[in-house]
Each structure stands twice: as C-alpha cells, then as structure tokens.
C-alpha cells in the first residue's frame, strides 16, 4: 500500500514539476518565505514520526526498515503540500479537473489518455501472456480512427488503412505464428551500388540469410558445419555495425536504414524460426510511425539532412509546458515498441530454454559465456533500432512542432512507475524458483524501462550523427 502511494505521489511530483504553470515560479521570494513553516516545526514533526514508527515496529515485532518505508509517501506528500509552487499547481490541477466546464477538446484529450493507459495495460499483461501484445498492436492499428491528431496529411483515409494493415499483418500475426518459411529474393544490382555502404549491408543481409539456410540444412542432415561458415558469420557480426557507423551518408533516414540493416544481419544469423521476418516487420512499422507522426510528406522525410545539433537537442523548443496529445502519444508508443521488441519473439523464453541451434552459425562447441552473450546481443538488436528511430522522430519533429524532451522524459518516468507498481504487487516469495525469479525479473524490467528508454534514444541520436562522420556531413550541407 505504501509503495503504491509512493509511486503515485512521485508521478504527481514529476508531472507538476514539468507541466506546472510557469507563473508560479515568478512568485516573489519574500511572499514564499512568509508561507514557509519554521524549521523547528519540521524537525519536531520528523522526530515524532520516527518515534511513532519505531514504537510500531517494536510492538508488532517487525523490522524497523519496513516501518520506515512508510515515511516515503509521507515525505513526498509534505513536499507537495509545503512547497508553494507544487501546492499552487496542485490546486490549479484539481480546479481544472473538477470545476472546469466540459469542452470537445478536453473530452478528446481524456479519451486519448484512457486509450494510452489501455495500451499500457496490454503491454503490462503482455509480460505474462505474449498474445496480449498482439491485441495492443491491434489497438495501435486502430489508433488513427480514434485519435484525429495522429495523422495530419491530406490522404488521411488511405494512410489510416495502410497503418492498420501494417500493424495487423506485420506485427500481430508474426507474434502469434510459430514458424514461417524463409523467403529469399533476387535482384540485379549495379557494381557501383554494391560497393556503397547501403549495398554492402543489403548484400550482407542476403548472405546472412543464405548462411542460416545452409546451417539449418546441415544440422538437419547431421553434416558437420564447415569452419568457413563460422568465419563468415563472425566477419558479418563485426563488420556490419562498423559499415553503418563509419558510412558517409547525407540524410538521416538513409543512415537509419543502414543502422537497421547492420543490426538485422547478426539478428538474422541468430534466429531460429521467424525472428528475421519479425525484425523487418517491426522496423517497417516504426519507420511508418516516424513518417505519420512527423506530419511531413514521405519525400520530405527522406530528404532531411543530418544535422548533429538538431538530434542532440540544441534545436529551439517551445516554452509551452501544457500537456498535449503529442507529448503523451510519442512516449507511450515508444515504450510499447520497446516492450514489443523485447518480448515479441519470446526471446526471454529462449534464454530459459537456451536452444543452441540459434548460435550454430557462430559456434557449435558448448560455451555458455559466448552463447549467452550472443543471445543477449540478439535481444538488444531490435531495441536499438527502436531507440534510434525515436531519436530520428525527435529530429523530424524539431522541424515542425516539437515538444520538449524534458516533457517526454517525464512521461517516460511516469509510465515506468505505472508498470513498476503493478509488478510490485505481483512479486512472489512463495512457489517455485522459476515463478519467484520471473516475478522479480518483471519488476526489475519495469523499474528500468524508463531509464533504458531515455538511454536508448540518446544512443540512437549518437549513432545517427556519429562524430567521425559529422565533418563529412557538415561539408555536404555547406
């Protein structure tokens, strides 16, 4: 109970600190000091609370630390009530929520908030029942029909259907299918394009698919895998990220596609059934999300030049601290895509069962450290692509109506609190070791998802504008 109240107060404190009214900050210091209680009252009150909790712990034979946990919500409540800025913002929030007249815009905003929390519930229970992630994908597909602010381009009806088909066919079906036969395509490419970074990465993707096909057939036929296939796989694993990071590109979308292909190559080499198709479907859907969220035409998105200062956050942002549907929708979608990339193919279950077939392209001798590292790298690959795409979305929106990065970070922290308080209530100290460990791992993942999402977006922005290619980019821009 106390932990849940603490999460609620902490989320409210984050909200008021970011989206509170700016006029409260301009209150004269003298008037603030007049309403501040004396220091001796705070000290006396704190000592009284400590003595009271200590007496309770001795009376009920509990650990003092467990009793002192009850101080956390009390401390947060005192901060909210005794700080003039937070107290005024909280009063203003309650007045708007309870006594302000109803309006169409307010009703639409309330509906969007409820839909976003429903989306997070699908993501939350998708930790336990993976099929619910597919229902979350269906809700994302229906989002343009429920939120008129999502797609603002002219051909909105066509884009609505395209978005729905992309979510339902490429993500929801792939997450439920057990196995999909691999399909390899042939195309005639010029020698000049093959020597470019994009051509090399596309060629590496085709080679990785061929290697997976050969290794699976050799395993089925009980034929030893030649050492040459292992060497080629390790070369692709090392060189593909280097080509994407050191490649000289003039547009951020071209660089994002190169990064996605660079992480797709090792991911494809480590797949067992249909994960390669899932990666491509997830990347395609995220790219489409960037396009629809930006409000720009497709050719405008692909022609955006790479400017490091824009992605790193030094572009001009609006000073409006009002919460909008944009500042809510983007972090919620981002967290859902991160969770989907993490759990969409059942990668955590593959760690528990540890199917060695997934690493046969690299190693056939039992080596738990190497196999575990490769499997963890496989999990990271789609998440990095989602984080890089979110960084590109921040760059695209900086050219139109970008919201403050601080607001989005605050929303990410509130989402993390929302997920963590659910899994804290589901923590288990009884049952099998698998059930106990699974409940603890879910809670730790939910606790760290906010910080991990922020770090992923910063890492993605760094990869989009790496320092060794920025000089080349500036030369091309000039």
Between 73 and 99, where is the model more confident?
73
Site of tokens 């979510």: 167
Between 328 and 387, where is the model more confident?
387
The answer to whether residue 341 sits within a structural domain is yes
Q: How confident is the model at residue 422 (pLDDT cuts 50, 70, 90)?
A: confident
In the predicted structure, residue 403 carries a pLDDT above the cut 60:
no
Residues 214 and 261 in one domain: yes
Q: Which residues contact 242 (CB under 8 A, 6 or more apart)?
A: none
User: 70-74, 147-151, 162-166: lowest mean pLDDT where?
Assistant: 70-74
Residues 157 and 65 in one domain: no
Averaged pLDDT of the chain: 73
Residues 137 and 268 in one domain: yes
CA gap 215, 223 in Å, rounded: 9
Q: How confident is the model at residue 462 (pLDDT cuts 50, 70, 90)?
A: confident
Domain endpoint, select from 402, 430, 460: 402
Residues 262 and 370 in one domain: yes
Residues 52 and 159 in one domain: no
Give the three-state DSSP class for 305: strand
Residues 355 and 207 in one domain: yes
Domain endpoint, select from 402, 431, 456: 402
Residues 191 and 56 in one domain: no
Number of domains in the chain: 2
Q: How confident is the model at residue 104 (pLDDT cuts 50, 70, 90)?
A: low
Domain that holds residue 21: 2-98
pLDDT at 82: 75
Whole-number Cα distances in Å, 107 to 20, 38, 94, 116, 166:
21, 43, 17, 14, 29
Whole-number Cα distances in Å, 11 to 14, 79, 95, 416:
5, 13, 19, 10
Taking residues 248-276, what's their average pLDDT? 80
Report DSSP state, residue 401.
Answer: T
User: 180-184, 371-375, 384-388, 432-436: lowest mean pLDDT where?
Assistant: 180-184
In the predicted structure, residue 448 carries a pLDDT above the cut 70:
yes
Exposure string (b/e) for 70-101, b if CB count within 10 Å is 16 or more?
Answer: bbbbbebebebeebbbbbbbbeebeeeeeeee
pTM of the entire predicted model: 0.75
Residues 156 and 120 in one domain: yes
The answer to whether residue 213 sits within a structural domain is yes
Domain endpoint, select from 355, 377, 402: 402
Q: How confident is the model at residue 225 (pLDDT cuts 50, 70, 90)?
A: confident
**Is the Cβ–Cβ distance between 214 and 229 less than 8 Å?**
yes
pLDDT at 1: 66
Q: How confident is the model at residue 179 (pLDDT cuts 50, 70, 90)?
A: very low
pLDDT at 259: 87
pLDDT at 210: 84
In the predicted structure, residue 309 carries a pLDDT above the cut 60:
no
Share of the chain above pLDDT 90, in %: 0
pLDDT at 110: 79
Q: How confident is the model at residue 209 (pLDDT cuts 50, 70, 90)?
A: confident
In the predicted structure, residue 325 carries a pLDDT above the cut 50:
yes
Residues 119 and 252 in one domain: yes
The answer to whether residue 408 sits within a structural domain is no
Between 99 and 140, where is the model more confident?
140
Beta bridge partners of 305: 251
Residues 178 and 94 in one domain: no
Residues 60 and 187 in one domain: no
The answer to whether residue 294 sits within a structural domain is yes
Between 34 and 135, where is the model more confident?
135
The answer to whether residue 458 sits within a structural domain is no
The answer to whether residue 397 sits within a structural domain is yes
pLDDT at 45: 72
The answer to whether residue 119 sits within a structural domain is yes
The answer to whether residue 148 sits within a structural domain is yes
Question: What tens digit of pLDDT does each residue of 18-38 get?
Answer: 776 644 444 444 444 445 556
Q: How confident is the model at residue 316 (pLDDT cuts 50, 70, 90)?
A: very low
Residues 54 and 122 in one domain: no
């Amino acid at each position: 109970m106390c932990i849940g109240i603490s999460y609620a107060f902490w989320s409210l404190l984050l909200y008021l600190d970011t989206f509170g009214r700016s006029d409260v900050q301009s209150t004269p210091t003298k008037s603030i000091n007049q309403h501040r209680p004396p220091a001796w009252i705070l000290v006396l009150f704190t000592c009284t609370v400590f003595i009271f909790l200590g007496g309770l712990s001795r009376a009920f034979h509990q650990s003092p630390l467990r009793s002192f946990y009850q101080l956390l919500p009390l401390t947060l409540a005192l901060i909210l009530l005794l700080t003039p800025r937070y107290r005024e913002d909280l009063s203003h929030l309650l007045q708007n929520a309870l006594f302000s007249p109803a309006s169409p815009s307010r009703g639409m905003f309330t509906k969007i908030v409820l839909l976003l929390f429903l989306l997070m519930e699908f993501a939350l229970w998708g930790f336990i029942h993976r099929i619910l992630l597919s229902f979350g994908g269906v809700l994302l597909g229906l989002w343009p029909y429920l939120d008129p602010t999502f797609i603002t381009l002219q051909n909105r009806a066509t884009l609505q259907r395209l978005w729905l088909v992309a979510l339902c066919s490429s993500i929801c079906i792939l997450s439920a299918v057990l196995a999909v036969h691999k399909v390899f395509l042939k195309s005639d490419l010029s020698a000049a394009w093959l020597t470019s970074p994009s051509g090399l990465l596309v060629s590496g993707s085709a080679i990785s698919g061929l290697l997976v096909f050969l290794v699976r057939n050799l395993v089925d036929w009980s034929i030893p895998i030649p050492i040459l296939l292992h060497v080629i796989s390790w070369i692709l694993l090392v060189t593909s990220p280097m080509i994407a990071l050191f490649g000289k590109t003039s547009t951020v979308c071209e660089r994002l596609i190169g990064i996605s292909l660079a992480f797709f190559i090792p991911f494809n080499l480590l797949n067992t059934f249909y994960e390669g198709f899932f990666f491509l479907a997830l990347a395609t859907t995220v790219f489409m999300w960037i396009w629809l969220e930006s409000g720009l035409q497709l050719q405008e998105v692909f022609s955006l030049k790479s400017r490091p200062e824009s992605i790193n956050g030094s572009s001009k942002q609006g000073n409006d601290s009002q919460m909008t549907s944009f500042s809510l929708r983007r972090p919620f979608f981002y967290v859902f895509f991160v969770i989907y990339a993490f759990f969409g193919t059942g990668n955590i279950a593959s760690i528990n069962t540890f199917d060695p077939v997934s690493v046969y392209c690299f190693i056939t001798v039992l080596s738990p450290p190497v196999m575990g590292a490769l499997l963890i790298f496989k999990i990271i690959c789609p998440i990095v692509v989602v984080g890089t795409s979110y960084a590109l979305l921040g760059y695209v929106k900086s050219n139109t109506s970008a919201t403050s990065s601080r607001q989005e970070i605050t929303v990410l922290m509130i989402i993390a609190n929302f997920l963590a308080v659910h899994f804290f209530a589901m923590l288990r100290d009884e049952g099998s070791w698998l059930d106990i460990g699974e409940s603890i791992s879910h809670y730790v993942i939910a606790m760290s998802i906010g910080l991990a999402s922020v770090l992923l977006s910063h890492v993605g922005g760094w990869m989009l504008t790496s320092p060794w290619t920025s000089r080349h980019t500036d030369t091309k821009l000039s």
